[in-house]
Amino acid sequence: MKKYYWMSKPDETTEKRLNLIIKILGDGIRTVRNIAYKLYPNLHGKALDRKYNTTIKDLVKLRTSGRVRFEQIKEMRTRLSNPDGYQSLQDFMDRQEKEDLDLYYSLSIRPAHIKPFEVWYEKETVIDDFEGICMAYDVPSLTIRGKPQWSTIKKASDRLTDKHEILYFGDNDKIGHQIFETVQDYVHYLGCECSFLWCGITEEQEQKYEYLPKNARLDGLDNVDLHEIIKGSVLKYIDADKLKHIRKQQEKEKEDLKNYKLKVVKKSRD
């Protein structure tokens, strides 16, 4: 793991600033911008913007060292998309209105997963593409965005186990691979030793779909190409026989629900 700025011991000036931030926060919750306003009440414009960036770095130091709780900083929280079907037919029936029984039933596909895994990807502009495929197979997915937020990484490190594998998708360029390395380092630093796998974009995929080498961006791919890359990676972690069995069982139970619904409706009319 490389040395990040927030790992170094603060000098005297920085330490005074950190202590002032701790005092401003107390036990409350604030945005980074609000803290910057309190620290630098006489600044505005570009001068304040520069100090705002300094405050972001100071807060990383404070949170990773445990001097400030992660949840004390308000920020745009990237949330995990966590689709899953019902554990059983009875589980579903206990939660739904009788009239809707045959419309919304889906059996969980998680038992067909070969191991616990999630899909993480760099671009917000392709959320629909990733979530659409991941929802079809009950795979949790997470948008990392350009600069991974510490609150997002902290939640992930608390949620994941060492048995999890992260299927990661990013731009095949220098910055894309740097983000991938940083995400791994941050998660591992917070104590979770889950494994990461770069699934795309790879040079082999660029060659297959006729994009320029070491240049393809996730949001630059044709939808058909991107969907094939995502689905191909996900299916490697799905037991095909178990998936087939689950879907067959689901169709049978949906038919049972339809028949049950007809009986209920008929009885209510009588």
State the amino acid at position 224 in one-letter form: V
Average pLDDT over residues 155-179: 95
DSSP 183-235: HHHHHHHTT---EEEEEES-HHHHHHTT--TT---GGGS-HHHHHHHHHHHHH
Say if 63 falls within a structural domain. Answer: yes
- What is the rounded distance in angstroms from the CA atom of residue 63 to the CA atom of residue 68? 5
Say if 246 falls within a structural domain. Answer: no
- Quote the pLDDT of residue 142: 96
- What is the rounded distance in angstroms from the CA atom of residue 196 to the CA atom of residue 178? 14
- Residue 188 vs residues 24, 99, 162, 165, 183: alpha-carbon distances, Å: 30, 48, 10, 13, 9
23-27, 90-94, 245-249: least confidently modelled range: 90-94
24-28, 36-40, 170-174, 216-220: least confidently modelled range: 216-220
- Quote the pLDDT of residue 115: 98
Q: Is 66 left (phi over 0), alpha (psi -120 to 50) or beta?
A: left
The SS3 call for residue 35 is helix
**Residue pair 234/89 in contact by the 8 Å Cβ criterion:** no
Q: Considering the chain, what is the average pLDDT of its residues?
A: 89
Instruction: Tell which of 74, 98, 128 closes a domain.
Output: 74
If pLDDT is split at 50, 70 and 90, which confidence band does 17 have? very high
pTM of the prediction?
0.84
Which structural domain, as residue segments, surrounds residue 226?
A: 89-241
- Kindly state the tokens that stand for 71: 């949840």
Say if 42 falls within a structural domain. Answer: yes
**Rg of the chain taking only CA atoms, in angstroms:** 24
Average pLDDT over residues 78-97: 79
- Quote the pLDDT of residue 206: 92
What is the number of structural domains in the chain? 2
96 and 34, same domain (yes or no):
no
- Quote the pLDDT of residue 127: 92
Average pLDDT over residues 221-243: 97
